[in-house]
A and B are shown apart, each in its own frame.
Chain A
């Protein structure tokens, strides 16, 4: 036990004390932030040069004005079409837009001509369609003598107020679903990243120990199992440290950025969400959201999440350790052997994406019980009142599987770390399970 502790301590400290660890831990959130700002900038980017477009509107439908949009300016010069075309060729105008009369006031389609030798960009085309379309709409309303207010009132925004039948005391709100999905998604992502980043870290470290030949020195002092578990637990501690730091650093950095650049978080939301929320509702939504967050059963979710995280980590980390021990310095071989481990993780990740949207579908339910998927899928459902029997079954199965896989991996590990120059296949690994000590 004492020796295991020594190994854990070394594995932990040797990583945490590295300058590169401090740097990556502090810089990763910054890098993400820069990345998001950059993405936001790209998404909002609207071509470099303004286009000036001459409009020929003999019908008078547009009443001599179109709202300029997205670096497009519309002018209504009094000149014949041919001279305008010549001016477009010489560069005065980017193009000439010709509006023919409507065949019928009720017509739902209308074709206008755009004269230019330049290719019309997708953005510009959309902007022109929208700008002309809204002017034509106004024209139609005036012509048909319709009240614009009445037209607007035809649209009705529907909200659903969910009410429980059995337990009336438990209030449900539509936000609850969104928040549950959000929490589930974040937990799923953390699980997924945790398994991969730290699993790989373990694998590389085992490979290095084997290639370095320190391993034989080590196991003349400690059991291979102690060495393996010490590494897994130590690296796990590194992972927890990193997450804790990020939980503190990320809010601090985003606050700082807002202070310095006056950067509004709302801007980013509009980049990603297509339908924007009515600003009046914003405050009510936030208040309701806070209320819902408070109502979530954190006392149940957080410990369970931690349990799933630890189990999932142990399960996959031990497999990565086994692969590392088997391959030594052969990167190519390590890739072919990590594939069978990565596949269930990837599948679980995709199921998790589905499960946050429909947490009670049979796919989500069974995947959250199946032990290879449950560490990633179950946390994503925890905010949705999972029946206790499902949690119990899932946890029991998971614990048994973790025990089995750690045993399995330690069997492979103890043979693998002392085996050199042998081509390792899955079949070969299977044989190692039955080697005597």
Chain B
């Protein structure tokens, strides 16, 4: 599948700090892509380059195979983390304004806005001023503004902050639907469980560099420690317990480490052979949260030694 977005060797320097340092990655069309990194890692700088807000000092950015040009902002929808609306404007006018700035004709824009408001069941708010809406409602308006022009590439920075679980699910479903309609989505957040749930691929930026990139499942597989959890009912014969390396044990549950993950099935059979009633058997994969903390942590000293000694 073609790549919607391709960055190669992108560098962005502000006066004294290197915000983006030789970042390369590719994002396949139709994927949901996680852009991760601790605060101040350079995510926002990177997004601003992709959205043409700033320009990279070096390197190339390709969108649908073409170098960035003046019409690209019209096929991108960007919802920044720090976002706002004109408080005094009416919802309908505001959405129309933003949609037209993205190149939609008034007729197209009105139609799309009506559809979205209908979809979120807030069509009655069309003539309300933005300041009269609740925070969650404003968030929905913001989301509509981001996607109303049917962008090919959608960039969402912390899209769920300030939303209750119901609205979070609502937006999440819309994200999946947009993807199904052919949009590609960059999803930037600190909430790793959301990334695990939603994203297919991630890139982890730390201190301006790309420190980890790839398919979420593969990344977790690659970092697994051959840990398996067995849940069972009844007593565990001592002889069995002695035969393996038990990492932790709780009532009716043990976590076992194997040199070779295939041994886990052998052990499962032994349990069953000894009349232990196994209720659950899972491989423990590291969570993205752990991977994030570990990667960011282990990269810190390396980068420090890279900076020239003063």
- Interface residue? A295 (CB, 8 A): no
Instruction: Tell whether, in the assembled complex, residue B145 and residue A220 are in contact, meaning their CB atoms are under 8 Å apart.
Output: no
Interface of B is mostly: loop
Interface residues of A in 408-437 (CB under 8 A from B): 418, 431, 435-437
- Interface residue? A214 (CB, 8 A): yes
CA distance A418 to B47 in the complex (A): 13
Interface of A is mostly: helix
What's the least CB distance linking B135 to chain A, in Å?
Answer: 13
**In the complex, how many residues of chain A place their beta carbon closer than 8 angstroms to a beta carbon of chain B?**
22
- Interface residue? B300 (CB, 8 A): no
Interface residues of B in 1-53 (CB under 8 A from A): 14-15, 48, 51-53
Interface residues of B in 51-99 (CB under 8 A from A): 51-55, 57, 73-74, 76, 78-80, 82-89, 97-98
Given A6-B100, A418-B53; A214-B73 close (CB under 8 Å):
no
Given A6-B97, A14-B89; A220-B84 close (CB under 8 Å):
no
- Interface residue? A212 (CB, 8 A): yes
What's the least CB distance linking B90 to chain A, in Å?
Answer: 10
Instruction: Tell whether, in the assembled complex, residue A213 and residue B101 are in contact, meaning their CB atoms are under 8 Å apart.
Output: no
Chain A 387-427 near chain B by CB (<8 Å), digits 1 or 0? 00000000000000000000000000000001000000000
Instruction: Tell whether, in the assembled complex, residue B53 and residue A216 are in contact, meaning their CB atoms are under 8 Å apart.
Output: yes
- Interface residue? B102 (CB, 8 A): yes
**In the complex, how many residues of chain B place their beta carbon closer than 8 angstroms to a beta carbon of chain A?**
30
In the complex, residue of chain B having the shortest beta-carbon distance to the beta carbon of A9: B97
- Interface residue? A219 (CB, 8 A): yes
Instruction: Tell whether, in the assembled complex, residue B73 and residue A220 are in contact, meaning their CB atoms are under 8 Å apart.
Output: yes
Instruction: Tell whether, in the assembled complex, residue A436 and residue B98 are in contact, meaning their CB atoms are under 8 Å apart.
Output: no
- Interface residue? A217 (CB, 8 A): yes
User: Which residue of the partner chain, among A10, A218, A437, contacts B54 with CB atoms under 8 Å?
Assistant: A437
What's the least CB distance linking A368 to chain B, in Å?
Answer: 40
Chain A 1-12 near chain B by CB (<8 Å), digits 1 or 0? 001001100100
CA distance A218 to B89 in the complex (A): 15
Instruction: Tell whether, in the assembled complex, residue B84 and residue A212 are in contact, meaning their CB atoms are under 8 Å apart.
Output: yes
Given A3-B101, A10-B97, A431-B15; A221-B73 close (CB under 8 Å):
yes
Instruction: Tell whether, in the assembled complex, residue B87 and residue A220 are in contact, meaning their CB atoms are under 8 Å apart.
Output: no
In the complex, residue of chain B having the shortest beta-carbon distance to the beta carbon of A434: B15
Given A212-B84, A217-B84, A221-B101; A436-B57 close (CB under 8 Å):
yes
Residues of A near any B CB (own CB < 8 A): 3, 6-7, 10, 14, 18, 212-222, 418, 431, 435-437
Selected A-B contacts with CB under 8 Å, 6 pairs: A212-B85, A213-B82, A217-B83, A217-B98, A221-B74, A435-B14
